[in-house]
Amino acid sequence: MKSIVLGIGNPIIGDDGVGFRVIEALEADPPPGDVTLAACDVSGLAILDLIMDYDRAVLVDAIQTVNGAPGAVYRLEMADFNTSKHTVSPHDMDLPSALDLGKKLNLKVPQAISIVAIEIPDAYVFSHDLTPPVQAAVPEAVKQVRAVLAEGL
């Protein structure tokens, strides 16, 4: 099964770069199988372009929930995202809409998409460093990514 693990975020906005850090940890000890590891700072249609032609995608990103504890790691599926909080611009769309468009255009989108999300306290602080609770969550996020990849092998 051809898989991609895509770390999403912005590595100069502190905790929002946690997806990049998970990819770095996986690159140090790559998962077995046909797995591409990549990181990006894009959303919506641009993510669709990156995950096309893969059978499975694991997206790793920061998340902010109403009562979440910083450093909590969640495993989510696309069905958990009915709407998006915001888009990058009025010319872009959220990931569920982009995937729907890809299917309507008969593009080869992954049949399985999982999300490993790490709760962050703030997405607006410029820094190359993660806060301590988010940094401490990286090994658990790596473990969750490996668990997703192990399914179906």
Residues 123-138: what's their mean pLDDT?
A: 95
Q: How confident is the model at residue 21 (pLDDT cuts 50, 70, 90)?
A: very high
Contacts made by residues 44-48, CB under 8 angstroms, sequence distance 24+: 44/87, 44/88, 44/92, 44/93, 44/94, 44/95, 44/97, 44/98, 45/92, 45/93, 45/98, 45/101, 46/92, 47/6, 47/8, 47/95, 47/98, 48/95, 48/98, 48/99, 48/101, 48/102, 48/107, 48/109
Write out pLDDT tens, residues 37-71. Answer: 999 998 777 888 899 999 999 999 999 999 999 99
User: What is the per-residue pLDDT for 44?
Assistant: 76
Output 72 or 124, whichever has higher pLDDT.
Answer: 72
Please give the mean pLDDT across all residues of the chain.
Answer: 89
Structural domains in the chain, sorted by start: 3-150 (3.40.50.1450)
- Cβ atoms of 8 and 37 within 8 Å: the answer is no
Write out pLDDT tens, residues 74-95. Answer: 999 887 776 554 455 545 677 7
pTM attached to this predicted model: 0.89
Task: Report the 3 state secondary structure along 118-131.
Answer: EECCCCCCCECCCC
